[in-house]
Amino acid sequence: MLPNFEASIEFAQQQDKQDPLAHFKDLFHFPQHNNQPAIYFCGNSLGLQPKSVAAAIETELNTWKELAVGGYFKGPNPWLHYQEYLKPSLAKLVGAKETEVSAMNALTVNLHLLMLSFYRPTKDRFKIIMEAGAFPSDQYAVETLVKHFGLNPTDAIIEIAPLEGKKTLSTTQIVDIIENTGEALAMVLFGGINYYTGQFFDLKTITTATHKVGAIAGFDLAHVTGNIPLSLHNWNVDFAAWCSYKYLNAGPGAVGGYFIHEKHVINSNMPRLAGWWGNDEKERFKMEKGFIPKTNASGWNISTAQVFNMVGLKASLLIINQADIHQMRAKSIALTAYLEFLLNQLDRISFEIITPEDKDQRGAQLSLYFKERAKDIHNKLIDNGVIVDFREPGVIRVAPAPLYCSFEDVYRFYEILKNNF
């Protein structure tokens, strides 16, 4: 149960004293503003660097220096199996079996590879449903996918937009369109959280509706993984992909992750673009023709593990495991509720919170829509040591990530808005 909020620094500080996750803030490096840590509400774009990452990278540099190619088989973390070290934590975060997850490439590369496996258009079943205003990479990926199969995007792609006067989608609206598309639907590809509005979609209900009409349910979980606990296996999701540089704090360009339900990974005949690293390890070093995939999600691995792109993720996952995603979620709900409470005290600034008020329909982000002066307000916040980001045509996204943000951070953000506008 959330406390009765107060708009005071004393209240915020008291909440931080009671916060079981408060000490995790000390495990991260913060950008500095006037020789003080900035208020960092941009983890939905790039998470902060864990202080443990430098030593973790140094470990692998020393292995390379001292063992060279021997590092694949020896050293503290033999590279041959590096992606395996990530699986237990990733499985826990997304509610999967370890055999259903792996790490490779980057998010959009993985989406392309997975969609090529799952999108099998026919003359009658070829439609793809996605949310209107999805992140551009998702739009481009789906557009070029249908073109790859010789289809017209205008005919093949159905984009669901909010109803007139609304900023977000309702689950009923999404389900109705899935059901109305019926047997023409081949795949649903939704972002788990819309990057612009911050709306978290009901993945379980969307998946059930999608399967009811015989189609495939896939999700881009870039803004969800490490933010909201998931149950992808139990929800029967077909596939999903995510990046690790946002709420997973793995660093810019860090390796992406993905999920494929076990009902698919055990099928060695499942179509895919294959590579050496996805081949059965008992057969790998025979160097023979004939791809024999692993019967788990790693059967979609293509190239050698990207060790230096995985080091940051491995280090960050150790911290997230200690914090526990469910405790993180509980704090996140409280932080965003307190943020919303304080924002509602600002009667001199004209803006609208377009992220749903329902905690079950949002994560760590609130999107503030300003009809005017949004960019000026954003710049002023930056000048005052508050790092948030801006999205056209007038949204400032504010994301107090629970691992390293505090109630005092939220209050000081409110105070800066109150005193400067």
The pTM is what? 0.96
Same domain, 296 and 354: no
pLDDT band at 1 (very low <50, low <70, confident <90, very high): low
Please tell me the distance from the alpha carbon of residue 88 to that of residue 84, in angstroms, as a whole number. 8
Same domain, 39 and 76: no
| Residue 135 pLDDT > 90 | yes
Domain that holds residue 348: 9-44+324-420
State how many domains the chain has: 2
Where does residue 317 rank: exposed (0-12), middle (13-18), buried (19+ CB within 10 A)?
buried
Please tell me the distance from the alpha carbon of residue 243 to that of residue 191, in angstroms, as a whole number. 12
- The string of pLDDT tens digits covering residues 397-412 is 999 999 999 999 999 9
Mean pLDDT of the chain: 96
Same domain, 201 and 267: yes
- The string of pLDDT tens digits covering residues 289-332 is 999 999 999 999 999 999 999 999 999 999 999 999 999 999 99
Average pLDDT on 250-271 reads: 96
Same domain, 157 and 19: no
Please tell me the distance from the alpha carbon of residue 372 to that of residue 351, in angstroms, as a whole number. 9
Quick check: is 52 in a domain? no
- The string of pLDDT tens digits covering residues 205-248 is 999 999 999 999 999 999 999 999 999 999 999 999 999 999 99
- The string of pLDDT tens digits covering residues 41-61 is 999 999 999 999 999 999 999
- The string of pLDDT tens digits covering residues 77-127 is 999 999 999 999 999 999 999 999 999 999 999 999 999 999 999 999 999
Quick check: is 408 in a domain? yes
Are 307 and 79 contacting, i.e. CB atoms less than 8 angstroms apart?
A: yes
Same domain, 286 and 345: no
| Residue 2 pLDDT > 80 | no
Specify the amino acid at residue 383: D
